[in-house]
Structure 1
Amino acid sequence: MCLTEKKRILEILQKDCRLSIEQIALMLGLESKQVEKAIQELEEERVILKYAALINWEKIEDEVVTAMIDVKVVPQRDVGFDQVAERIYRYPEVKSLCLMSGGYDLSVLIEGKSMKQVALFVAEKLAVLEHVQSTATHFVLKKYKSDGVIFEDQAEDHRLKVSP
């Protein structure tokens, strides 16, 4: 299977990973066996890492606190930021970790049950790591959109329509 067809499969799965192999094959005009083999190869090559649902936890749980933490790090000889990043991403609270350009080196996304829990993570686990120079914590107040999905559409426009 060519790279273009594999990319099309990936795009479909990224939008809705619940689609069956048969549905994907029908959408692309391919045989089910071809799609199944391509997906298996993509999983083995670790191109497809995980299948996940995007959930609006605010509708289920009382409090979920999300924070984005900017971290300034002293890079290490021969490994740069990788060793510090590995220590950080191994914490279960860490949902995402990226190397960034700009004023800070790493951007860490974490979730906790309270602001205090997030603050304790930063103070007791993150800020005390060797090679971490400083942190800046930003609490997420409201999520409007994530992974291309709008969490709640705005109310319909109720203004009177004006016609020429």
Structure 2
Amino acid sequence: MEKHELEILKLVEDNGRLGVPSIAKMVDCTEEEVQAVLNKLEKENVIVSYAAVVDWSKVEEQEGVTAMIDVKVTPQRGVGFDEVAERIYRFPEVKALYLVSGAYDLSVVIDGKTMSEIAGFVSEKLSTLDSVISTTTHFRLKTYKHDGVVFEDGEDDDKRIVVSP
């Protein structure tokens, strides 16, 4: 990948709302060159999606429950973890799925309206899969930082140090 392509990729990752004219100025390319790079990266699935980071705790009646579920599975001969991972990520509740190292094999992130809904997903859908040996569920209590964005309460906007004689 060429240097200007990497620069464009990093800019879009940091702010998916940047327009082509702005990106062109920042990387010293023409708008046509930037658009061609973006089209190429989208076609190659390097850029998979453009997304906003939303602080749902500030939206009335929309706050739900997010759970991170550690899953231990038996890998399948010839396909490893891929087959069971595909079965898991096809559930509509699954927001993210990662193959991880350590005591567990997969880390599943799901969103639900209530803790009971999450419990139902784990007991009725996830744990019933043949390859799943065990699960451990963790509930998100508060978000401090997500995708590089710091979530602040905004209560203490004045960051100055108090100086007294």
- Structure-1-length-normalised TM-score: 0.93
Q: Deviations over 1:28-49 (max 9, x none)?
A: 1111100000000000001011
Amino acid at match of 2:107: S
Q: Deviations over 1:89-136 (max 9, x none)?
A: 011111110001000000000000110111100010001101100000
| % identity of equivalent residues | 51
1:113-128 equivalent positions in 2, closer than 5 A: 113-128=113-128
Amino acid at match of 1:17: G
The structural deviation recorded for 1:19 is: 1.0
Amino acid at match of 1:14: E
1:103-118 equivalent positions in 2, closer than 5 A: 103-118=103-118
SS at match of 1:41: helix
Counterpart for residue 37 of structure 2: 38
Please give the alpha-carbon distance, in whole angstroms, between the structure 2 residues aligned to 1:44 and 1:112: 32
SS at match of 1:103: coil
Moved over 3 A (4+): 156-159
The structural deviation recorded for 1:160 is: 2.7
SS at match of 2:34: helix
Please give the alpha-carbon distance, in whole angstroms, between the structure 2 residues aligned to 1:74 and 1:130: 9
SS at match of 1:142: coil
Superposition CA RMSD, Å:
1.6
Q: Are residues 157 and 29 of structure 1, via their aligned partners in 2, closer, same or farther at CA, if it must alter by over 3 Å?
A: closer
The structural deviation recorded for 1:138 is: 0.2
Q: Deviations over 1:67-86 (max 9, x none)?
A: 00000000111001000000
The structural deviation recorded for 1:4 is: 1.3
Q: Are residues 99 and 162 of structure 1, via their aligned partners in 2, closer, same or farther at CA, if it must alter by over 3 Å?
A: farther
**Which stretches in structure 2 are left out of the alignment for 5+ residues?**
none
SS at match of 1:133: strand
Counterpart for residue 145 of structure 2: 145
